[in-house]
Amino acid sequence: MEYALPMSMRILLLGTLATALLDLWMLTLKRFKVPMLDMALLGRWCAHLLRGQPVRGPIAAAGAITGERELGWALHYAIGIAFAALFAGFVDPGWLHHPAPGPALLFGLATVAAPLFILQPAMGAGIASSRTRTPLRNVLKSTLNHAVFGGGLYLAAICLSLLP
């Protein structure tokens, strides 16, 4: 007897696998000395926000929080899963069983709006990294990273489509 994987589990796996592929990509870039977001800083930003202390200025200058790295990694994966759920809500339900690369890549590229217009300004880097030394490079890096996430959605969906 075949058992279908529930949609909630497919979405959880879709987001987790796509985020894991993004992490492998970022690890590869890091080996080539390309600076990446330190997940501790993401956790620090979130922890300060949860304490009602929004950070003014660069997040690296804000006080460290116990467990910030773990919180940052958990948030990173939670965001990937939330993006996967949002994506699943936009695409035809049949896409998850018969994925095509276009919708996933376009969605991945669209998600770059979140870091450029929400996370970077909130962490003191300005809109689209405008307050950094290399804003264009940072925008291009974020865009490529999110395209990789979109590719991860597609590859994860292919793997999941092989399951009953």
Say whether pLDDT at 37 is over 90: no
In a domain, 49, yes or no: no
In a domain, 48, yes or no: no
In a domain, 50, yes or no: no
In a domain, 45, yes or no: no
Q: Is 86 helix (H, G, I), strand (E, B) or coil?
A: helix
Q: For residues 57 and 88, is the Cβ–Cβ distance under 8 A?
A: no
The pLDDT, as a whole number, for residue 126 is 94
Domain range for 145 is 7-35+82-161
In a domain, 156, yes or no: yes
**66: region left, alpha or beta (phi > 0 left; psi from -120 to 50 alpha):** beta
pTM of the model: 0.92
In a domain, 62, yes or no: no
Span 45-67, average pLDDT: 87
Q: How many domains does the chain have?
A: 1
Q: Report pLDDT digits (tens) over 76-130.
A: 999 999 999 999 999 998 898 899 999 999 999 999 999 999 999 988 899 999 9
**What's the pLDDT band for 1 if we cut at 50, 70, 90?**
very low
